[in-house]
Amino acid sequence: MADKHTTLTASEAETYYNRFGKKQDSQGFYEDPALNDVIVHASFQDAESVFEFGCGTGKFASRLLTDHLSASATYLGCDVSSVMVGLATQRLKKYSKRAKVLQTDGTVHFPLSDHSTDRVISSYVLDLLSDEDIRTFFAEAYRILIPGGKVCLASLTKGNTLLSRIVSSLWMAVFRIRPSFVGGCRPILLDEYVNRDSWKLEHRKILTPFGVPSEALVLIAKDRPNKANSAEARSSCG
């Protein structure tokens, strides 16, 4: 089961990432291999609309818009940090007709209607949310995705090799002392939060560049039960 621990509040995360700002881009040495792996399995070329939760500086969005999404595809990103929203907006300026970035209050509620998007992406964000918020994230992703749409995730995870096990244990130890020493992030197993009644596994891989373990996960939203049952299904899904 998921570890019990204290995660940063949304307002603590906002303060931290307002200060961290552009430095987030220096984390590519361990993030990029997992993001590359997600890209291989997310079929972004077929997506018409993408929603990103916790877009940071807009680095991943810029890469998707430049190299992987069709010229008509739209992007909506959100972040709790005003500094990150400013950086991402600036970075995505040349796509401003079809790419928007919003600041949120940190609640895990997506500003989109039901079944309105075909990709939900989030990289290195779920690992700083509480267990309850991670479950809400999956319920919200399921709500806004069309059936057959994909949730595409990368996150810090627990090691599966000797070196990466040592790294993730040390990381967790530091997190327990003070979450802000590691940006509020801790190693988690995304797979543990997935309700297989709602999601079909498309791809899962653990990557350990420089001994830092990441989980790349792509899930497909299963078709809904009939309309009469959908309210009940929604309350228990995700």
Binding-site ranges for ligand SAM (CB under 6 A): 10, 13, 17, 24, 31, 54-56, 59-60, 78-81, 84, 104, 106, 123-125, 128, 183, 185
81 or 198, CB closer to ligand SAM?
81
- Which residues have a Cβ under 8 Å from the Cβ of 200 and sit 6 or more positions away? 219, 220, 222
CB of 40 to ligand SAM, least distance (A): 17
Q: Are 164 and 182 in contact (CB under 8 A)?
A: no
CB of 211 to ligand SAM, least distance (A): 18
Q: What angle do CA 191, 193, 195 make, to 5 degrees?
A: 95
84 or 144, CB closer to ligand SAM?
84
124 or 199, CB closer to ligand SAM?
124
CB of 159 to ligand SAM, least distance (A): 19
CB of 162 to ligand SAM, least distance (A): 26
Q: Is the dihedral of CA 237, 12, 54, 200 positive or negative?
A: negative
User: How far, in Å, CA of 93 to CA of 153, rounded?
Assistant: 24
135 or 227, CB closer to ligand SAM?
135
Q: Are 128 and 187 in contact (CB under 8 A)?
A: no
CB of 31 to ligand SAM, least distance (A): 6
185 or 206, CB closer to ligand SAM?
185
